[in-house]
Chain A
Amino acid sequence: MELSTQKLIHTFGALADLGQEIAGRGDFTEMVRTSMHLLLGTLALRRGAVAECVESELRSVASWGVTDQIFKELSISCEEKQEFHTGQVSDFLISSSPGSSNFVNRYRQKFAQEEIALILPMIVRDEITGVVLLGRKASGEEFSPDDFETVHAMVRHIGVGIHTHRLLEQVAERAEENRRLYEELRTIYRATVRSFAAAIDAKDKYTQGHSERVGRYSEIIAREMGWSEDEVEGIQIAGYLHDVGKLVVDRDIINAPYNINAKESSELNRHPAAGYEILAPINHPYADIPLMAKYHHERLDGRGYPEGLRDEQIPIGAKIVSLADSFDAMTTDRPYRRRRSFEDVVRDLRENSGTQFDGKVVAAFARALLKEVKGESKERRITKMLGKDYLQDENVAMLLADLITDLTAVGSAARSYK
């Protein structure tokens, strides 16, 4: 093979590799190191280094045969950076006599000690982003005009590569910062929601902790139904806020629901729609929270309020909150009655599945509770909320298993109801 052809192939191969390396999304330092080796190997330069300009400092990104110490001693002023724009390549060849570059003149001795022969700038959009230091050729020959052209092209590529990587890094940093801010906002939002829930429950002296428990039950059911973590978080919030409309209902009516007239009753029944009015203008980080509050008193048979929606018209989230709400009402003491036995509650759930409750939702809740009872789930969250004495009956597991079986069997019957 002719020498010139071989040289061409060698250079061409290096340029192709350099393109690949710079376009790749690999590790930044590895990218620069590999690029540096490609540059040095193309002309068989004995040593070299790539440094970024950080204001007047030069920071080594990759070096080969050059001590990093030299960069600690180098600095470059704005005027000296300008020299690279106006000067000739020959001005940046390290020779024994002073040339026109102040930067080269200042460090001539150091460069000579490190056996640096040529300095080239990395220029991106007219800005000097760094410099490349190059050693002599292994052949001992001087740089030819062709060599200058080759190294110039490669250094330009490396400069753009470094610049692009730095931009991507900045973008990634911004994204991380945004994520952190967003997370912080969510935390604040959740804290606000919980204090909201506390305020709602405080208004009704007999239902302390009700909203919080409805939030947790809803979350447990949704998770059991295979919802994503984000959706699960959303429904927990909806549970916390489902009764927010009570904040605009007269306190006396709320505190005496067992002894109110028709007018007062319709006032109380206003709370889901009022809740919707409160929640709708808020830009929640989760979907459908206002609707879940609005429809948590709807029933599958259409006898609920405020709109008398039927089964498939009711959002699944509202069905979950509805069950959580009723379950907590049945399993907590009220001033006018004691809480119901677990057996009684299970009977109620079975009887009202398909008319008041969605059987699929009830079955999911029963499955979650059964897992706790059997010790199959890590935490016993429902059990804890119910209190340690409540599930003492040894039939609990059987009651739940039967309920699940029945609901799965009547799934088709419930559908035919529509």
Chain B
Amino acid sequence: MDKPSGLLVRSHCVGTTAVVYASDYLNKLTGERIERECRRQLNCGCRALVIDFSDTKLVNSIGISILLGIIDVAEKNGAKIAFSDVNSQTVQLFEMLGLTRHVVLAKDEREALLTLSGFETTPIVH
């Protein structure tokens, strides 16, 4: 297990949308901090979440559980959520397990932001 110190969740905000990078530690207990980061962003006023998978080769059971926690937090906050840059194998897994019923899949971060902006009630400020 990785030590918690020095493990920061990479994220940034585009308007009221937070982009959070899943990275490789999604598949370990340390992945819980991605959920905490999403929760923090929503508490800070974000209305939508993009989880970016560009650095994530595969997602295991722990990763699925953590992602479901993030979906839960988003839904409870009335926020929309998109997954971007998910590889085809992982897309298949998400479809099989029903995650795609709860999130929008996007080719990349840009597309995800564009898609989510369609849902947004407040304009994006760059």
Contact = CB atoms under 8 A, between A and B. Distances in A.
A38 B72 contact: no
B68 A17 contact: no
Contact of B98 (A34, A36, A140): A140
B97 A44 contact: yes
Contacts, number: 85
Given A30-B29, A42-B61, A140-B101, A37 B96 contact: no
Contacts of B72: 46-47, 65
B65 to A, nearest CB: 4
Contacts of A17: 60-62
Interface in B51-67: 60-66
B125 interface: no
Contacts of A14: 60-61
A141 B60 contact: no
B1 interface: yes
Contact of A44 (B28, B29, B60, B99): B99
Contacts of A140: 98, 101
Contacts of B98: 44, 137-141
A96 B68 CA distance: 25
Nearest to A24: B1
A13 B97 CA distance: 15
A137 B97 CA distance: 8
A43 B64 CA distance: 9
Which of B63, B64, B65 is the most central at the interface, judged by chain A CB atoms within 10 Å of its CB?
A: B65
A10 B93 contact: yes
B29 A138 contact: no
Contact of A138 (B28, B68, B92): B68
A139 B68 CA distance: 11
Given A30-B29, A65-B72, A141-B98, A37 B66 contact: yes
A26 B1 CA distance: 9
A139 B29 contact: no
Contacts of A3: 96
A44 B96 CA distance: 9
B103 to A, nearest CB: 10
B93 A6 contact: yes
Interface in B20-75: 28-29, 32, 60-66, 68-69, 71-72
B93 A40 contact: no
Nearest to A40: B65
Interface residues of chain A: helix, strand, loop or mixed (majority):
helix
Which of A43, A45, A139 is the most central at the interface, judged by chain B CB atoms within 10 Å of its CB?
A: A139
A203 interface: no
B61 A138 contact: no
A6 B101 CA distance: 19
B29 to A, nearest CB: 5
B68 A38 contact: no
Which of B66, B92, B97, B102 is the most central at the interface, judged by chain A CB atoms within 10 Å of its CB?
A: B97
Contact of A7 (B28, B29, B96): B96
Contacts of A44: 64, 68, 97-99
Given A138-B98, A138-B102, A38 B93 contact: no
Contacts of A26: 1
A143 interface: no
A64 interface: yes
A19 to B, nearest CB: 13
B96 A41 contact: no
Contacts of B101: 138-140
A10 B64 CA distance: 11
A1 B71 CA distance: 26
Interface string A9-43: 01001100100000000110010011011111111
Interface string B97-120: 111011000000000000000000
Contact of A30 (B1, B65, B71): B1
Contacts of A141: 98
Interface string A234-265: 00000000000000000000000000000000
Interface string A124-144: 000000000000011111000
Nearest to B102: A138
A7 B97 CA distance: 9
Nearest to B64: A41
Given A37-B65, A45-B68, 17 more contacts: A6-B96, A14-B60, A27-B1, A36-B65, A38-B62, A39-B65, A41-B60, A41-B61, A41-B62, A41-B64, A44-B64, A44-B98, A44-B99, A45-B65, A65-B72, A138-B98, A141-B98
6 contacts: A30-B29, A37-B62, A45-B68, A47-B72, A138-B99, A140-B98
Interface of B: 1, 28-29, 32, 60-66, 68-69, 71-72, 92-93, 96-99, 101-102
